[in-house]
Amino acid sequence: MSHVYSSPSSSEWNAGRCAPSGSSSSLDEKASNALEAMLREHVKDLIITESFLSMIRSRYHISPEYDLRILEVGQRPFDLFPNGFGLSIAAFEARLRLPLHPLVVSCLQYWMISPSHIAPNSWRYVVVFVRECRAARIDTSHTLFLACFRLGKS
């Protein structure tokens, strides 16, 4: 699952978000145009399309047994998904992989939350914990994980 963002139209960008206050000198106008261009490029980088999903599958080694979808119009990352769950690209960037490690499944069940409710940076803690336990030949469990970390609201 990935996040979908819509790009504002050029009229939305010119609706005063970047407009300088006071006089519109040549310098202010150039700064406003530069900021507008940077923001437009930033928003473009956040757009995920159907054609991008195959690259995501390849980059993060996601097996074809998993159905990747983009959010529908009006859908949010934290919504319930029939026969599935939401997971952001940021979770994969944090090195979370499918199938989910048994520790991840155990913790999600224990906390009674879905994967989309975990902040991307928190996934890094889980992934590193699993790797360190594996390297030290320690069996992982949510009890051991909870002895080292605690779930907190941000």
DSSP string, 96-135: --SSPPHHHHHHHHHHT--GGGS-HHHHHHHHHHHHHHHH
Is a pLDDT exceeding 90 seen at residue 30? no
The partner residues of 2 in beta bridges, in order of sequence, read 70
Is a pLDDT exceeding 60 seen at residue 12? no
Q: Which residue is listed with tokens 């939401």?
A: 86
Side-chain-side CA neighbours of 113 within 13 Å: the count stands at 14
The partner residues of 70 in beta bridges, in order of sequence, read 2
Is a pLDDT exceeding 80 seen at residue 7? no
Q: What is the pLDDT of residues 85-125, one digit of tens each?
A: 888 888 898 899 999 999 999 989 988 888 888 887 888 99
Q: What is the pLDDT of residues 15-29, one digit of tens each?
A: 334 444 445 566 777
User: Is this structure's pTM higher than 0.85?
Assistant: no
Both structure tokens of 132: 């360190």
What was the pLDDT predicted at 40?
Answer: 56
CA distance 76 to 44: 19
Q: What is the pLDDT of residues 59-88, one digit of tens each?
A: 999 999 988 888 778 877 777 777 788 888
Reported as a pLDDT band with limits 50, 70 and 90, residue 11 is very low
DSSP 3-state of 147: helix
Is a pLDDT exceeding 70 seen at residue 42? no
Report the number of secondary-structure helices (H) and strands (E) in the chain.
7, 0
Nearest Cα to Cα of residue 98 among 74, 129, 123, 73: 123
Both structure tokens of 43: 């928003």
Nearest Cα to Cα of residue 7 among 50, 39, 32, 34: 39
